[in-house]
Structure 1
């Protein structure tokens, strides 16, 4: 069989099988990475979303600290006051199929760094240039509980007074002239005392979904890796079968089964 495998024809098929196996290995790795990403996302939502709130500094001890994927959606508690004069609207933000604004305001803690808080979503006004009204910011000492989120990439440097295009923490720190924590911001869940209700108040952003079941990507990865081995084994089997036929001759065909005679065929005869 080895001598037959080293012929030009079978070396070509071997090369094709190896290329197929390499492609399957890379496709399997791609599905494996998707599985890991989905598993991490599901872990963040299931384990962090309703975990007891902690101080921000236990996760981001200083301004240069960066929020890790494992700490995304961790609940934190802030005690202090808002800086309403520095509030900003983040434009073109979706919520339940509609576009509007998210209202972000620096929150100065009594004992800790100033943190950007996303208080929620406001619908567009008559045009997309600005909302009809912006709910008032509660004053005095407040306790805010929310989820830590990583900052976003800057999408535009175009300045609109009182608005930004993304929650880019470095950009917002420059606009507000605040010594802002840039490792992450807080998506508000509750604030006490609660702000008075208004006709067009803030809408909460929807709870994140953990995404599609991660196990399906693991299954795809295993299938691709099995296909990598299967392609080479199939090629080797065909080579072995050809060698057996060359040595022992082709296998005789199986005899045909006799045609089954039906009762009504006998009666017609």
Structure 2
């Protein structure tokens, strides 16, 4: 069985297409594996940090100045007062799959430094498009709060109405304020005292499910392998067809000879045979 046809431009092109398809599948598989690894790392951070006892702000101050990935969800206790005049509403923030907003408020610590606290979530409003119906005010005076650390988010290439933010971009938020703001991380509200009569809804708990990324990765890698399996199968079939076309069948090379009719015996031969039988 010959495979010399694989050196033709046509078959080289088919092979390159199969290789390109396989490379794309492997790249997509690696992308799904990266997403799965990110999910696993996030689950580990939640399990390590989310339910731990709060630590004083002074012990983790640097995390609010420069974010560290492994410190996400670390529980921190803070004391100070809200600067409600500089409160902002963050747009397009789903919570349990429902669209809405999050409430971001500067919090002046007793040390004199200022951090941002996400007080929770509000549903979309029915009165004015693009705004919640009402924003509960934060407690006045001295407040003790427990928050969980989250890093600042990237700036988005879209604007927001006055009093709103497109994302929790702390450096961008700080440029709107007349005082310094720690811009590495912010705090997500866990509890506050005194407890207000009305407050935004708590944010949903972070997921601890890996999702389907691993199975998707395996599927893409399998598709990549099947590209070469399919190429090999088609090439083998082509080689078989070529062999049948190039090698004539036995019937074509050596046609069967028709059976010969027995030769008719002459009269003399019949008489001799009869005499032999009689022993004469």
Q: TM-score, normalised by structure 2?
A: 0.70
CA distance 1:138–1:120, shift in 2 (3 Å): farther
- Unaligned runs of 5+ residues in structure 2 are 252-280
CA distance 1:47–1:163, shift in 2 (3 Å): closer
- C-alpha deviation, 1:84, in angstroms: 2.4
3-state SS of the aligned residue for 1:116?
strand
Q: 2:33 aligns with which of 25, 35, 45?
A: 35
Q: Which residue of 1 aligns with 2:166?
A: 165
CA distance 1:125–1:174, shift in 2 (3 Å): farther
| 8 Å contact kept, 1:154–1:167 | no
| 8 Å contact kept, 2:121–2:200 | yes
- C-alpha deviation, 1:77, in angstroms: 0.5
| 8 Å contact kept, 1:100–1:121 | yes
- Unaligned runs of 5+ residues in structure 1 are 253-269
- Aligned partners of 1:232, 1:149: CA distance in 2, in Å? 48
Q: Does 2:79 match 1:80?
A: yes
CA distance 1:150–1:227, shift in 2 (3 Å): farther
Q: Which residue of 1 aligns with 2:200?
A: 202
CA distance 1:112–1:47, shift in 2 (3 Å): farther
Q: 1:140 aligns with which of 121, 139, 142?
A: 142
- Aligned partners of 1:43, 1:190: CA distance in 2, in Å? 26
Q: 2:13 aligns with which of 15, 20, 31?
A: 15
- C-alpha deviation, 1:24, in angstroms: 2.1
| 8 Å contact kept, 1:4–1:243 | no
Q: TM-score, normalised by structure 1?
A: 0.72
Query: What is the root-mean-square deviation of aligned Cα atoms in Å?
Result: 3.4
- C-alpha deviation, 1:14, in angstroms: 3.1
Q: Which residue of 1 aligns with 2:232?
A: 233
Q: Which residue of 2 aligns with 1:187?
A: 188
Q: Choose 234-243 or 47-56, whichever is displaced more.
A: 47-56
- Aligned partners of 1:16, 1:117: CA distance in 2, in Å? 58
Q: Which residue of 2 aligns with 1:114?
A: 114
Aligned residues: 242
- C-alpha deviation, 1:97, in angstroms: 5.3
Q: Which residue of 1 aligns with 2:102?
A: 102
Larger radius of gyration: 2
